Amino acid sequence: MALIAKPYKQEYYPDETVDNVIGFNTYNYYLECILKYIEDSYGHPDQFCSEVLASTKKLKLISDFDKHWVEKWLKLSWNTEFLLNQNTEDAEIVRFNNHWSPILCYFSIYSCLEAFVYLLDENKANGHNKALKKGINYFVKSGMSPWDFAFKGARGKNGKEHKPFNFPRDIIFPNCLERVGVEPIQMIGTCLKAEHYKRIDKLYKKSSGKYKYEFDPDFTGIFHFLYRLRLRSNYEGLDLFVSDASDEDIKKFSDSLCHISFWSLMYMELFIIRKCGLKFFLKVANDYIKLNSNAGDIHYRCDLYKKHITIY
């Protein structure tokens, strides 16, 4: 049976600091579970590349698309990823950087998502809400885990009518403070369930003509959670992200954001290559790498793509 983590001792921290540390460690654990699920499922990026290519082999190249649009968003994505990875071994500096890391992680993913969702139907999202909706709807119906995990539906009068998608049917979602005996997939579900509730609270309008318990904000996926972290660190919760958590947890938070960005970009980039062709993608990537030779992650991924894709 899972155990509930003990609260931080009140005598060491003021009330607000206790809340910040607990909140930070909850977010940190959500990120840790997302990353662990990815790494346990796919192992090495080389294996992941093979599996994504296999899952997208039915996609067809498109010859006439807005190349400038795709190029712009890809370069924005890579440059933001580069900034995200500019960290040090000094835990105190990392602690300060963690105020910006959720913002950079989200924008690296969002920028790539704009190119990704455009290539779904050649209609530009050009905004967070539409890009997230189009992308997550695609992942839920045709994607790979954990990007296909989601919650959907209204709360209902009993508060329990919203449903998980693409999770095992018999899964149990633990309390967000449970740590022992909890599988990563379970905590991802807990994270998305909480995020779905928050989106209902944020997006519901009385003018919709519905009661709040009837309101459904559509699918809620992992990228929505990253979007919330971005909003909290940018506007609503600076102290939470420079909290008095341990040095180990501070570094783990930063590392998780960097790695989740890496895997997410790799997933979407392979889809983009299927739609635009490897030649176009490599030209855009090489143009960027010439400007920023220190952008190691995109350079590494391009080497993988050239290794696995030989047709075009």
Model confidence pLDDT, tens digit, residues 20-63:
788 889 999 999 999 999 999 999 999 999 999 999 999 999 98
Per-residue pLDDT at 272: 98
3 falls within a domain: no
**Domain containing residue 131:** 10-308
Angle between helices 15-42 and 222-231 (to 10 degrees): 150
- Is the residue at 224 inside a domain? yes
Decide if 236 is inside a domain.
yes
Mean pLDDT of 298-311: 92
Instruction: Tell me the pTM.
Output: 0.91
Q: Which of 2-6, 52-56, 112-116, 211-215 has the lowest mean pLDDT?
A: 2-6
Q: What angle do CA 246, 248, 252 make, to 5 degrees?
A: 120
Residue 159 lies in a domain: yes
**Number of domains the chain is built from:** 1
Give the pLDDT band (50/70/90) at residue 18: low
pLDDT at residue 301 greater than cutoff 60: yes
Query: Is 5 part of any domain?
Result: no
C-alpha 212/C-alpha 201 separation (Å) is 8
Residue 1 within a domain: no
Q: 157 or 207: whose pLDDT is higher?
A: 157
Residue 277 lies in a domain: yes
User: Is residue 206 a part of any domain in this protein?
Assistant: yes
| 17 vs 165: which has the higher pLDDT | 165
Residue with the bigger pLDDT between 91 and 7: it is 91
- Residue 5 confidence (pLDDT) above 60: no
Long-range interactions of 125-134: CB distance < 8 A, separation 24+: 128/227, 132/221, 132/223, 132/224, 132/227, 133/218, 133/219
